Amino acid sequence: MKLILLGAPGAGKGTVAKMLTAMDGSVQISTGDILRGAVKDGTELGKKAEAFMKAGDLVPDDLIMGIMEERLQQDDCKSGFLLDGFPRTIPQANELKELLTRINVELDFAVELDVPRDVILDRLTTRRTCVGCGAIYNVKSMPPKVEGVCDKCGADVVQRDDETEAAISNRLDVYNEKTAPLVDFYSKEDMLLSITATSSDVVVAAIKEKLEA
Ligand code: ADP
């Protein structure tokens, strides 16, 4: 499958992507994970991206397109991919369309995860992330077996820098302003599956049904 996952921060894109990759060997491509990795490793990209990320602002489109142009041409993408957190702006969506045509790759569709704002706020303030493998936990509903330690890789599980209340609120505003218009964009392309659901199982079932239709 070749899908775009759209949805506000905390809508469940990452969780759904992980469930889908387990089904058919397609890869999850999270621009957020790639950028956090670059910040952690102190690369040029990381240095350029860090301040934007910490404030909950978007990283400039040209940096993101550079990452994705390279990433989408790697071999593991041939068996399918789930774009998680990209595209995030109309210019990114336009450039992605042009890039996919150029490298001769066809998307199945874009999925919008539509989750109420109160659910999102609750999820983001209680979310914890593994600094090693990016696994996602929740202090209320899915804590790691040992507090602060990842079940999967043993690295630290922490609250992200951009998961303070101020940064979360900014990320949601940025989403509404810059990313929400993509719902219309993909709807006009006749490529949108919109799902109003808070359960990842329900979301995955709806995606499967559409892929098989
Ligand atoms: P979220 O939980 O907000 O969906 P991500 O992990 O996708 O978080 O992204 C974290 C941060 O990385 C964003 O707030 C932004 O600064 C940056 N980022 C990730 N993807 C993009 C993108 N496609 N365009 C611009 N900035 C991005």
Q: Catalytic residue, from 71, 160, 208, 210: name it.
A: 160
- Please report the pLDDT score of residue 71 as a whole number: 96
Q: What is the pTM assigned to this prediction?
A: 0.89
51-70 tens-digit pLDDT: 999 988 999 999 999 999 99
Q: How far is CA 36 from CA 7, 30, 86, 101, 132, in A?
A: 19, 10, 14, 29, 10
- 56 in contact with ligand 1, CB cutoff 6 A: yes
% the chain with pLDDT above 90: 85
Give every strand in the sheet of 81-84, ordered side by side. Answer: 27-30, 81-84, 2-6, 109-114, 192-196
Distance 191 CA to ligand 1 centre (A): 22
171 is catalytic: yes
- 31 in contact with ligand 1, CB cutoff 6 A: yes
147-190 tens-digit pLDDT: 999 999 999 999 988 888 888 889 999 999 999 999 999 999 99
13 is catalytic: yes
* Confidence class for position 198, pLDDT limits 50, 70, 90: confident
Place of tokens 């993909």: 186
